[in-house]
Copies of this chain bind each other. A is one copy, B any other.
């Protein structure tokens, strides 16, 4: 941790006229954290807005767009939430990025690019940290504040399913439900609703899936034609690479996406038996132990061949 919750609360108490920054390709945690913090600051009698984020999708727009600043707004204090580095701040916010007064984040890799920094790498979601800061300021969670915090905590943990979920995540969720958040309705929208494009892509993924190495390797292909026909955007493809690995017995899921320029993007997801990064580094990519990726300058067929060979080498202990 750099900085303390109480120091962050002091910084916020001392200022007025806030602008809150979110990151590129905004997700539920950055938008939920920003919306919650904005509402809490307003509840404390301050002026606060959330900077417009050009990349916000329909799913999360409602959390920040109502708090867009008026033309010519001049903030006194710039706060970023969930931004791992200065580069993660989108170009349309550059006017504010020159000096970030307070960084609130949960990415361990955050260099502390603000004047003040509250970075807690052990938290699953930035929203958990925002919740602690709000409470430290003596501001009671109401339903609207809690909704942003809940969305942040639930989306960054796969609805409390992933291993990054801690007891603190659950304690924060408990407080949000106490404050009146309708978790069931939010989760249905976030986790149980598939766009038609997503459905079409999944249908294709399911029907195209092939198995190798006694069912331990599953290969799925998302063709460029299918993406164009369905109009699927990157939101629709979110977390789709996790699907092949869900099948019993599958240790390596290879999900290929044909790109517009003829390249093929591959996302590798593995169970604990196999090192995903060891597969991807062989073809010029990289990543983590169980999730890695690469982009190959060739078509799908050649990509499959090369990935299967790379995977077999890992199985043989040669890579």
Contacts and interface: CB of A to CB of B under 8 A. Distances in A.
A241 to B, nearest CB: 13
Contact of A193 (B183, B184, B196, B246): B246
Contacts of A167: 173-175, 177-178
Interface in A169-202: 170-171, 173-175, 177-178, 182-185, 187, 191-196, 198-199, 202
B183 A249 contact: no
A166 interface: yes
A230 to B, nearest CB: 12
A111 interface: no
Given A199-B247, A247-B194, A163 B178 contact: no
A235 B148 CA distance: 36
Q: What number of copies of this chain does the assembly contain?
A: 2
Contact of A248 (B160, B185, B191, B195): B195
A316 interface: no
B183 A163 contact: yes
A163 B192 contact: no
A306 B195 CA distance: 28
B159 A194 contact: no
Interface in A139-169: 159-168
Contacts of A209: 203
B177 A163 contact: no
A207 to B, nearest CB: 6
Contacts of A184: 161-165
Interface of A: 159-168, 170-171, 173-175, 177-178, 182-185, 187, 191-196, 198-199, 202-203, 206-207, 209, 215, 242, 246-249
Nearest to A248: B195
Contact of A166 (B161, B177, B185, B195): B177
A192 B244 CA distance: 10
Given A161-B192, A194-B246, 8 more contacts: A159-B161, A160-B160, A162-B184, A163-B183, A163-B185, A165-B177, A165-B183, A167-B177
A203 B160 CA distance: 27
B196 A248 contact: yes
A195 B247 CA distance: 6
Contact of A203 (B174, B183, B206, B242): B206
Contacts of A246: 192-194
A26 to B, nearest CB: 21
B170 A247 contact: no
A245 to B, nearest CB: 8
A202 B205 CA distance: 11
A178 B165 CA distance: 11
A160 B188 CA distance: 11
